[in-house]
Amino acid sequence: MKIAIGADHAGYMLKEELKRWLEEWNISYHDFGTYSPERVDYPDYGIIVARAVAKGGFEKGILICGTGIGMSIVANKVKGIRAALCRDPYEAKLSREHNDANILTLGGRILGFDLAKEIVRVWLNTEFTGGRHKVRIDKISMIEEDEL
């Protein structure tokens, strides 16, 4: 599994921690920035990661800004992306089982590192349930095609 990751300045510190966890779990990743705590605009990083996942080069993506809200708004503009803002492991689990979320967004100013680590661990290790949930995901795809 290869993960695309990105953050703005408010997510930078959590992104650096996230890289350590991914290395600990032997999960490969590409860091699309930002590469310092200097102030930047989250759409510039969110769009790069979302497009990289949508194009199929990465199975999943993780985006971090101050609240996780801006990154989720940006990522969900990209066709094929289902970005989920998760603040606890239960949301992370359901975002995979029910929504087949392919991008996780996190709030670097909201979450402590331990909680964030557990959210990421659960999110990466939970599979999509399919079945009735697949029917709903297909309807989201139809909305993207203007067929619903």
Taking the least distance from each CB to ligand RB5, the nearer of 7 and 53 is: 7
Q: What is the dihedral of CA 103, 104, 109, 112, to 10 degrees?
A: -150
- What track of x and - describes contact with ligand RB5 for positions 17 through 56 (by CB under 6 A)? -------------------------x--------------
Q: Is residue 5 within 8 Å of residue 30, measured between CB atoms? A: yes
Residue 35 tokens, joined: 């590469």
Give residue for tokens 């290395």.
Answer: 23
- What track of x and - describes contact with ligand RB5 for positions 64 through 103 (by CB under 6 A)? -xxx-xx---------------------------------
Q: Is residue 118 within 8 Å of residue 112, measured between CB atoms? A: no
Q: Beta strands of 26-69 (E only): which ranges?
A: 28-31, 60-65
Q: Is residue 8 at the binding interface for ligand RB5, with CB under 6 A as the rule?
A: yes
Q: Is residue 109 within 8 Å of residue 66, measured between CB atoms? A: yes
Closest separation between CB of residue 65 and ligand RB5, Å? 3
Catalytic residues, which ones? 65, 98
Residues near ligand RB5 (CB under 6 A): 8, 10, 42, 65-67, 69-70
Binding residues: 8-9, 66-70, 99, 109, 132, 136
